[in-house]
Amino acid sequence: MEQKGFNMSQIKITPTQLNGTVAIPPSKSMAHRAIICAALAKGKSRIDHIEYSQDILATISAMQALGAQIETYEDYLFIDGTSTGCQQECQIDCKESGSTLRFMVPVSLIHENHVRFIGEGNLGKRPLNVFYDIFDEQGISYQYQNEILDLTIQGHLKAGEFKVPGNVSSQFISGLLFALPLLEGDSKIIITSKLESIGYIDLTLQMLETFGIVITHDHYQEFHIAGRQSYHAHDYYVEADYSQAAFYLVAGALGNSVALKGLNLDSLQGDKEAIDILKRMGAVLTQTGDLIKVEAKGLKATTIDGSQCPDVIPVLALAACLAEGTTKIEHAERLRIKECDRLAAVASELTKLGAKITETTDGLIIEGVCQLQGGQVSAWADHRIAMTLAIASTCAQTEMIIDNKECVKKSYPSFWQDFEQLGGMTSEC
């Protein structure tokens, strides 16, 4: 995949150390799940601690398209799912949210429906064969276009046995887990290969339980879903996001003095593994009240398995660039079908800054260097690449210019504000 070209929305960063406290934004993964569960419940729920990223807005509008009544306020939602699923024709715009798409396809087919899915960016390039196989087996009609998201589906899901490979996005499985309890009969999901991103499945199961849905499994290889269940309205507070916290955890490990507020150290989020990986590299975590800091006096290379925590791999790769020795990132091939090819993007842009990175089929080999340079780099229109480069600027010797600064709105709209509040020196260019 070719990198995106530079555009006018560039931001210049003057290297400086970050110092201060940052409140970590709410978990996008948990917010998606809470909104869906509340919108499937016959009653009213309040969801607190919401940040209106583009992905979350996509899921809100998707559930509204399916009939849910959702009122938005500054940082919370009121959701009434009483009328969800009453329509038999709708259009769902997923924007660039893979979570919204993969969650919504099964959810939209709980009842007979004629639904069109559209989206933006690279979303149409992300494979949906798992669902197409199910449609073929169940006689659900569908039409799609190559390379762009324009998918039309007619029909409804039927209870039964669903075979899903474990080495694809866990979002396919989560989508089915949301939908199958509402069908008339019992269902079973059989995982046909090693399951990746188990942490995300745990988040789904936890949220389902919160809203009254019971699902059992045999060591994550078979999921048993009783039909004719009901979601129960429930008020919910969204915990802080480890995939966003990872940027500041790495910043601390690289010599910045950042205290993170709001993290739940008992969280089931798979991206919490970033802490364990940084500890293996020599970082130390301290907790004072509700504040967490990561510090290090030099980092050591390690081997990183990207299969269970793909979203934090770009910024962990940055940490590896400045660690002593050679770090290997493995089992991260799914990063090639995100908003961009994140393995290629990380290798390309950090190399421009003086890193020594070699791409492999499923990961990266990173030889640590003593320092990074500045220069002009591209975010590849990908929010996690942009934020990784911003953290890299704190270790650079000269100014850095990053294109497409607005792409952070996909997951973390207030990122640049938080970065500046911590002392990051930015300017338009």
Whole-structure pTM value:
0.93
Q: Which one, of 196, 231, 238, lies nearest residue 215 by Cα?
A: 231
What gap in Å lies between CA 194 and CA 209, rounded to an integer?
Answer: 24
Cα distance between residue 263 and residue 260, in whole Å: 7
Q: Where does a domain end: 237, 255, 277? A: 237
Tally the domains of the chain.
2
Q: What is the mean pLDDT of residues 144-159?
A: 95
Active-site residue set: 311
- Encode pLDDT of 302-326 as tens digits: 999 999 899 999 999 999 999 999 9
> Both 183 and 264 in a single domain?
no
pLDDT (tens digit, 9 = 90+) per residue, 37-69? Answer: 999 999 999 999 999 999 999 999 999 999 999
Backbone torsions φ then ψ of 328, nearest 5 degrees: -115, 125
144 and 206 both lie in a single domain: yes
Q: What is the CATH number of the domain that holds 310?
A: 3.65.10.10
Query: What is the distance between the alpha carbons of residues 339 and 381, in angstroms, rounded to a whole number?
Result: 7
Residue 424 lies in a domain: yes
154 domain-assigned? yes
For residues 370 and 292, state if they share a domain.
Answer: yes
Could you tell me if residue 416 is inside a domain? Answer: yes
The pLDDT tens digits of the residues spanning 390-416 come to 999 999 999 999 999 999 999 999 999
What percentage of the chain exceeds 70 in pLDDT? 98
Any idea which residue has 């390309």 for tokens?
348
Q: DSSP per residue over 307-349, as a string?
A: TS-GGGHHHHHHHHHTSBSEEEEES-GGGGGSSS-HHHHHHHH
Residue 164 and residue 189 in contact, taking contact as beta carbons nearer than 8 Å = yes
Q: How far apart are CA 32 and CA 205, in angstroms?
A: 13
Question: Is 266 found in the same domain as 221?
Answer: no
CA distance 148 to 119: 8
Flag whether 3 is in a domain. Answer: no
pLDDT score for 429: 78
The parent domain of residue 90 ranges over 28-237
Sign of CA dihedral 89, 117, 56, 334: positive
User: Pick from 179, 212, 237: which residue ends a domain?
Assistant: 237
Answer whether residue 248 shows pLDDT above 90. yes
382 shares a domain with 286? yes
Residue 392 lies in a domain: yes
Residue 384 and residue 270 share a domain:
yes
| Length of the chain, in residues | 429
23 is written with which tokens? 């409140």
In a shared domain, residues 270 and 416: yes
Does the pLDDT of residue 2 top 90, yes or no? Answer: no
User: Which residue, of 220, 237, 254, is where some domain finishes?
Assistant: 237
